[in-house]
Structure 1
Amino acid sequence: MRKHSQQILIIGGTSGIGWALAQSYLQAGHQVTVAGRHPERLDLQALQQYPGLRYLQLDIADAEAVRAAISGFAASGLDLLIVSAGTYVNSRRQALSLEQTERMLATNVSGLVHAFQAASELMLRQGRGQLVAIASIAGLMQDYPGASVYAATKRSVIQLTDTYRRACAPFGVQVTTIIPGYIDTQKLRDLNQGDASHKPFLSSEQQAASRILQAIASKQATLVFPRRLAWLVRLLNCLPAFVLRFRPD
């Protein structure tokens, strides 16, 4: 028996893990809209290959644009929202400017609120739906003097998704938090002079997508992977702040 075709929106879905997830859902016959600041990253062949694919230009930091995009699903319904959009600046290599800091906060934190708020309102009216946020294992690191702004934003993502989970669960809306370690995306390679193979416990896009898809399908509350890196972070959190040198961000 053919499964119900879902209406799926992936913000930050034009590249990286967001696009990997989009392709998996498209191959399964779902209707997928990918949104991002640079939809031109999608190649023409991909657009022709997947008749169920729609795309739109969207900056998640723009609250009105996000609300307008999600309201477009009111007639057909929105079954699944995945927020994969995020921005990162390596604060160990350069001092963060005010503009960079504001951009990280606007994208990683405020942007998530814009998307979750608009989508949860629609899903609560429907009485069904699932919200998913891609956080980072950096968000599991305890705060300490000198910790990165990026890690702080991802701690906020984890906390925000937990809040939405508790608020929406009684009304048939599920919330899943994905907390991955290093994924071998083009973005990560670009940040590491084209080669991210030295990153600890590196996952391929395919490995990461497979685990994330399983967690979403089972409506798992939280997925943390790889486990070995999660255990390492837990160990580091036991150390005094002054000896911390490793940052998984």
Structure 2
Amino acid sequence: MNIMIVGGTSGIGLALARYYLQRGDRVAVCGRDLQRLPADLHDAVGAVTFQFDIADRAAVAQAMDDFAVQGLDILIVTAGIYFNTRSHLLDEATSLRMLQTNVSGLNHAFELAATKMLKQKSGQLVAISSIAGLLHDYPGASVYSATKRSVLSLCDTYRMALKPFSIAVTAIVPGYVDTAKLRALNEGDASHKPFIMSEQKAVGLIADAIAGRKDRLVFPWQMKWLVGVLNLLPRWVLRVRK
């Protein structure tokens, strides 16, 4: 299969790239900085690399045109920006950057891929959201949470529009996954995060959901349950928790 992963130079995106390459697929590994990509991935059989910012629609379109000459079976968008307003002030530039990456970038990547898949009458769009997107209120990261709710909404909209044409749309909603990025955000150790899951196990669950063309995957189940409980609490309780 021909699979494009936007945000494939680190974290879950990189792990998924490795998974599909080991399976023998042709994979476009895309990111803003290809220097972050491990050396072995550059030379891996089946790997094609593209450097662009998902916020740059023209650059995304060019890369997709170049890669999809042989067709585009799956587009996976893992690119996203997280900014913790509990420790930093969310300024105008950062707010705009988060919107451009997490929301509008995803939208035009989906739109460009959908255009190609409609011609094929087949394909699958996949986006990585976050468990934060299921929270009605997320003190300290409310803008991030809102952008991830938008990811889920975009997936629902594209799914409804494309389902009659044999194109699936899958929303992945992970809790804490023990990636290098998460560890970096937590001074090198994220083991204290609730119900944290290994990267390998997360990739297995995600790959199975994609293969099964599921509408949505939320994991782990404990986090899904916890979010449900938090959403029932009054907002002032969440503010106190913050």
TM-score range, shorter-chain basis?
A: over 0.9
Amino acid in the other structure paired with 2:81: T
Which residue of structure 1 lines up, in the alignment, with residue 229 of structure 2?
A: 235
CA contact (8 A) 1:144 1:241 kept: no
Amino acid in the other structure paired with 1:111: G
Q: Call closer, same or farther: CA 1:219–1:241 in 2, change over 3 Å.
A: same
Amino acid in the other structure paired with 1:150: Y
Deviation at 1:40, TM superposition (A): 1.0
Say if 2:136 is the partner of 1:142.
yes
> Number of residues paired by the alignment?
241
3-state SS of the aligned residue for 2:53? Answer: coil
**1:134-187, Cα deviation, whole Å (9 max, x unpaired):** 000000001478761100000000001000000000001100000000111111
Amino acid in the other structure paired with 2:189: D
Aligned pair partner of 2:209 in 199, 209, 215: 215
CA distance in 2 between counterparts of 1:146 and 1:74 reads 40
CA distance in 2 between counterparts of 1:172 and 1:45 reads 35
Which residue of structure 1 lines up, in the alignment, with residue 62 of structure 2?
A: 68
CA distance in 2 between counterparts of 1:11 and 1:183 reads 18
Q: Call closer, same or farther: CA 1:207–1:74 in 2, change over 3 Å.
A: closer
3-state SS of the aligned residue for 1:165? Answer: helix
CA contact (8 A) 1:142 1:237 kept: yes
Normalised to the residue count of structure 2, the TM-score between the two structures is 0.96
**1:190-228, Cα deviation, whole Å (9 max, x unpaired):** 111111111001011101100000000000110000000
3-state SS of the aligned residue for 1:35? Answer: strand
3-state SS of the aligned residue for 2:177? Answer: coil
Q: Call closer, same or farther: CA 1:108–1:205 in 2, change over 3 Å.
A: same
Say if 2:105 is the partner of 1:108.
no
Which residue of structure 2 lines up, in the alignment, with residue 204 of structure 1?
A: 198
Aligned pair partner of 1:182 in 170, 176, 180: 176
Which moved further from structure 2: 142-151 or 65-74?
142-151
Deviation at 1:75, TM superposition (A): 2.4
Aligned pair partner of 2:188 in 187, 191, 194: 194
Say if 2:156 is the partner of 1:162.
yes
Runs of 4+ in structure 1 off by over 6 angstroms are none
Aligned pair partner of 1:22 in 17, 23, 32: 17
Deviation at 1:114, TM superposition (A): 1.3
Amino acid in the other structure paired with 1:130: Q
3-state SS of the aligned residue for 1:114? Answer: helix
CA distance in 2 between counterparts of 1:203 and 1:19 reads 16
CA contact (8 A) 1:108 1:157 kept: yes
CA distance in 2 between counterparts of 1:59 and 1:232 reads 34
CA contact (8 A) 1:145 1:241 kept: no
Which residue of structure 1 lines up, in the alignment, with residue 146 of structure 2?
A: 152
Which residue of structure 1 lines up, in the alignment, with residue 81 of structure 2?
A: 87
Amino acid in the other structure paired with 2:16: L
Say if 2:35 is the partner of 1:35.
no
Which runs of 5 or more residues in structure 1 are unaligned? 1-5
Deviation at 1:69, TM superposition (A): 1.4
CA distance in 1 between counterparts of 2:141 and 2:106 reads 22
Which residue of structure 2 lines up, in the alignment, with residue 3 of structure 1?
A: none
Q: Call closer, same or farther: CA 1:27–1:146 in 2, change over 3 Å.
A: closer
